[in-house]
Amino acid sequence: MLGLAVLHGTITAVDLGALLAARTAGFLAAVPVAGVLADRHSRRGVVLWSGLAGAVALPVTALALDRSTPLTALACAVAGAGQGACRPAFQALAAEVVDEAHRRRANAALSLAVRVTTLAGPSLTTLAALVLGDRALLLCVGLLWLVAALVPGGGARADGGGTVPRGRPTRTGLLEEFAEGVREARRHPWFLAGLAALTAVIATGYSATGVALPLLSRDEYGSGAVLAGATTAYTAGALLGALLIARRRPRTQG
């Protein structure tokens, strides 16, 4: 959507780079502690508050989009932090709201929903932008965040009543648990190598395409079709890669 805002002249490419950087910084700041928070506190609660963060941040982004770059960047950082904090808790929530007999189907349904929406999202967003405009799209996504925050609280519960009982650590603090996770990660060199490679790709390739694609789509082709097509193709490639790795089992994980 921020790329479409560049296409429509609402923000500049420099603004886009700054906003994407702020959003990524918020995401990366939240992810390392989000898993620990989901283990120490109610997963429903983590999803609720992270969803509410996105639900508040997106309307602020819409209102400040071409008025105040610092305020827009702050809102993007909050939205990124909300997404980063939500992901681990949301993925673990199936075990809390679905009984064991139906858990495999629930995980498959979640995975399918994510793949379908990420594949169809760019095209649908581009079409919606022709009718709604940049700010209205941001408000719609804020509404989706609100739905994501509130819906898990009303779902079925795995134990037929209250939340699944789960012991909460009392002997160790948040920093100690995080340090334990870091120590475990260091025991797997392939994981650290993969993380380093992913960081390099995100810091260079994602940043370049995130800013360059909207500009190319606008200046060379005069529409958002190339931006939508490239983003959709990226997701399609991810699906093909997932199918390939599901069939092929390399001897070395890394």
pTM of the model: 0.70
Instruction: Flag whether 160 is in a domain.
Output: no
CATH number, residue 24: 1.20.1250
For 87, other C-beta atoms within 10 Å of its C-beta total 19
> What does the pLDDT average to over 49-77?
89
Q: Look at residue 220 and give its three-state secondary structure.
A: coil
How do residues 82-123 score in pLDDT, each as one tens digit? 888 888 888 778 777 788 888 777 877 877 788 788 778 877
| Cβ proximity of 38 and 89 under 8 Å | yes
**For residue 29, what are the domain limits?**
2-155+174-247
Residues whose CB is less than 8 angstroms from the CB of residue 9 and which lie 6 or more positions away in sequence, other chains included: none
Burial (CB < 10 A; 0-12, 13-18, 19+), residue 140, is: middle
Residue 209 in domain: yes
Domain presence at residue 254: no
- C-alpha closest to that of 55 among 86, 15, 17: 86
Q: Provide the domain count of the chain.
A: 1
In a domain, 253, yes or no: no
CA–CA distance, 13 with 11 (Å, rounded to integer) = 7
**3-state SS class at 252:** coil
pLDDT digits (tens, 9 = 90+) for 203-220: 777 777 778 888 888 888
14 falls within a domain: yes
Comparing CA positions, the residue from 131, 125, 30 lying closest to residue 76 is 30
Place 52 in a pLDDT band, splitting at 50, 70 and 90: very high
Residue 30: inside a domain: yes
Residue type, 79: A
Q: Indicate the average pLDDT of the chain.
A: 79
Tens digit of each residue's pLDDT (9 = 90 or more) over 226-246: 888 888 888 788 778 777 776
- The predicted pLDDT at position 153 comes to 62
Nearest by Cα to 3 from 145, 137, 184: 137
Residue 227 belongs to some domain of the structure: yes
Instruction: Please check the confidence at residue 126 and state whether its pLDDT lies above 80.
Output: no
Q: What is the mean pLDDT of residues 179-192?
A: 80
Q: Is residue 167 part of a domain?
A: no
Q: pLDDT at residue 46 above 50?
A: yes
